[in-house]
Chains A and B, each alone.
Chain A
């Protein structure tokens, strides 16, 4: 039987460079009394500055925090850590948490985490992927971007971008950075660290796997409807964020008036991701399918696609299919022409 969204425990991922403020963010999210609803997976218990929140060790590598949350360090691989945590929860050795936050190491690319959860036959029946939060150090953003390709992977795969150290950066540069991030990843919600509330539901979210995925889809739509004005952006690009740093990372939104045939679309996207998975950093979209009154939401990171989610209604009055691609070195026209051809000549109506 297929598990319903509420049976699955969402795995929320926090990425960001060393010193970018991941722990500060985590501390903020965990200080409120969440009644033991959250389990945190980190790499080293010693490294994280949560000592003052600590109550005591309840199992090997696992500590209990004042808020009732459990915090567990990963020994070995992520899969083992998740399975162990799940089985302790079932045996009631630890509180019955409702979500897991995974804090990655600084130079991590979130795509392999996805692969672990989506592909593993055991994990995918117990866990779903929640939002990916990328912490961006405003002060060092352009430096990180230049030096580490992982920065781009983190920013493009994020659902929420948290800007930290904004007080160290002049107002004008903050705005430039925001625009730059919006251009790279138009689908993410961008907030500053100061705007994050304790136990913020925007961050502690299962994303599309919430009981009502419509609100997440609405967030995407809101961002889609602000078209990315590339030329405007280029005009006020600050020195630190020249386009030449990543000459080919680009995002675009394809809009389709015709209803889309799911089988043709599925064949097309799996074919495209098989060949260009490395260059397609993110796909997010809402589709109007032929034979269905309600839309579905799809999203994928690199060559991995989440199982599509049925929405119970349209987020706005627009009934067109809208798909956002964040790509590296792939032309918008080529993708649009290809999808149009596939839908027109493969659609089930043509049989």
Chain B
């Protein structure tokens, strides 16, 4: 458990298992912010849910609980109804056009 923010560290996804100098909650918010930059292209939003999981929302009001980052992309694809491909040139153009 992280003594600073009371998070249990239950995420099982491989990308969460890195030691970081940041407190867990701050690390969590950083990941959410980064994921939202990508998800913005699909008009989806990711929010923290009680420090244990995440809520992914679509512009039409559909919401899904996501337990860890390993689950994020399959759930996002279901909400959007089409494949989410990081090699898609349109997505890459969108990412590079977001104001810093």
Question: Which residues on the B side are within 8 Å of A291 (C-beta)?
Answer: 20-21
Q: How large is the interface on B (under 10, 10 to 19, 20 to 34, 35 or more residues)?
A: 20 to 34
CA distance A342 to B94 in the complex (A): 11
Residue from the list A271, A274, A306, A346 in contact with B37, Cβ < 8 A: A346
Convert A259-301 into 0s and 1s, putting 1 for each residue whose CB lies closer than 8 angstroms to a CB of B: 0001110111111101110000000000000010000100000
Q: Are B92 and A263 in contact (CB under 8 A)?
A: no
Residues 320-351 of A contacting B (Cβ, < 8 Å): 330, 334-335, 337-338, 341-342, 344-346, 348, 350-351
CA distance A335 to B86 in the complex (A): 9
Stretch at the interface among B27-35, B49-57, B59-67: B27-35
CA distance A130 to B17 in the complex (A): 19
Residue from the list A266, A310, A334, A351 in contact with B69, Cβ < 8 A: A266
Given contacts A308-B14, A351-B33, contact A268 B86 (CB under 8 A): yes
> 4 extra interchain contacts, Cβ-Cβ under 8 A, other than A275-B86, A296-B18?
A266-B14, A266-B15, A307-B14, A344-B96
Q: Are A270 and B15 in contact (CB under 8 A)?
A: yes
Q: Is B79 an interface residue (CB 8 A)?
A: no
Chain B residues with CB under 8 Å of chain A are 13-21, 27, 30-31, 33-35, 37-38, 69-70, 72-74, 77, 83-87, 92, 95-96, 98, 100
Q: Chain B: which residue is nearest A273 at the CB level?
A: B73
Q: Is A305 an interface residue (CB 8 A)?
A: yes
Can you give 17 A-B contacts (C-beta < 8 A)? A263-B15, A263-B27, A266-B18, A266-B31, A266-B69, A270-B73, A272-B86, A275-B83, A275-B85, A275-B87, A308-B18, A338-B87, A341-B96, A345-B98, A348-B30, A350-B100, A351-B34
Q: Are B18 and A345 in contact (CB under 8 A)?
A: no
Q: How large is the interface on A (under 10, 10 to 19, 20 to 34, 35 or more residues)?
A: 20 to 34
CA distance A337 to B93 in the complex (A): 11
Question: Which residues on the A side are within 8 Å of B100 (C-beta)?
Answer: 345, 350
Q: Are A276 and B87 in contact (CB under 8 A)?
A: yes
Question: Which residues on the B side are within 8 Å of A272 (C-beta)?
Answer: 86-87
B90 to nearest A CB, angstroms?
12
Question: Which residues on the A side are within 8 Å of B13 (C-beta)?
Answer: 270
CA distance A305 to B70 in the complex (A): 10
Q: Are A274 and B73 in contact (CB under 8 A)?
A: yes
A286 to nearest B CB, angstroms?
14
Q: Chain B: which residue is nearest A298 at the CB level?
A: B14
Q: Chain B: which residue is nearest A269 at the CB level?
A: B15
* 9 closest A-B pairs by CB: A266-B15, A274-B73, A305-B14, A341-B92, A271-B86, A307-B17, A334-B87, A345-B95, A275-B85
Q: Are A345 and B17 in contact (CB under 8 A)?
A: no
Question: Which residues on the A side are within 8 Å of B73 (C-beta)?
Answer: 270-271, 274-275
CA distance A267 to B13 in the complex (A): 11
Given contacts A337-B92, A345-B37, contact A351 B30 (CB under 8 A): yes
Residue from the list B35, B74, B77, B92 in contact with A267, Cβ < 8 A: B35
CA distance A2 to B14 in the complex (A): 13
Q: Are B18 and A262 in contact (CB under 8 A)?
A: yes
Most buried by A among B13, B72, B87: B87
B59 to nearest A CB, angstroms?
20
B27 to nearest A CB, angstroms?
8
Given contacts A262-B18, A308-B14, A345-B96, contact A271 B34 (CB under 8 A): no
